[in-house]
Structure 1
């Protein structure tokens, strides 16, 4: 009997202290491309919860606010049982949910409110056309004159790094070097051919034929 009386007194005392808060004006609804955002302005700093009706215990479907005069929640289309319904007239999609704002951390109070929120996304069905004239493609001619390489022939003493030979002796090994300087890379090719040795008296001996092949292995 004593326990029952104490409970009744507690309930009576709790009911005697109303929550001094409430929603000011209408909720602010933002219909985004992938989510709905609902914000409430409150008369005093808010202490409580904003949640989807029936989903208080689900993470992401409830927002615990405190200390500000604004409370709200953002709900992606693919979460918290947000309903999407296609409409044929007008053509588009209705996105619907029910949000509760509770002004007490533990209990439901008489100043709590539930709002059925609905956004409509109209289907755009338009044919857009424009006219553009395109001129014929022009052909540009580009001409570039590439100078021929400058080539030189040297006879060197003993090898490719030897000194140039002005006067040779019988039996002296010499190195024949052909060098070409060009302003471009990988443009020209050269074949050394038709080489003769002249003794100064009109006698000539062919060392390389027209194909660039040596005719006497003892000479070249």
Structure 2
């Protein structure tokens, strides 16, 4: 049996919200084996993502939240592969800003299991960066896919519309820092970290209003 693996593809484009636009590099995570996979955050480049998936069956396109840089390639990738686009419904207002004529195919819910290649990932609703932000926890892989909720060095940004700093701190404290310390955190941008590396800084984040 082929071993389940985690692959990172970095794609580049822009992020736009609140009348501002910024250049960004996004991590697209592909989780699976030689036969099937899921994509976490279809960012910017459907061609590159489809090429990375190759001839594997794509089981789902999971959106950790609906900021445009995380979902802009999702409909095209879905059209090419037949995979459903999954999003927490609390992020539909953000989704509609980017894709007003194309709804996600199914909702994500807290505690929902997603399976790929015999490995289960659990959806954790972690609002704060966005109302419907989620993380995916795969204990068998010792992995957390954190989207923009938790980065190496601190929480995701909360200075724009639909975000709330006390809420993201609560999500990280109650839902993420309770995971095993050696859990690898695969982030939406930048480098990976671990739960244990971020846990000691919680009070610093609160004091700084990160």
TM > 0.5 fold call: no
Higher helix share: 2
TM-score by length of 1: 0.17
Taking structure 2 as the reference length, what is the TM-score of the superposition? 0.18
Larger Rg belongs to: 1
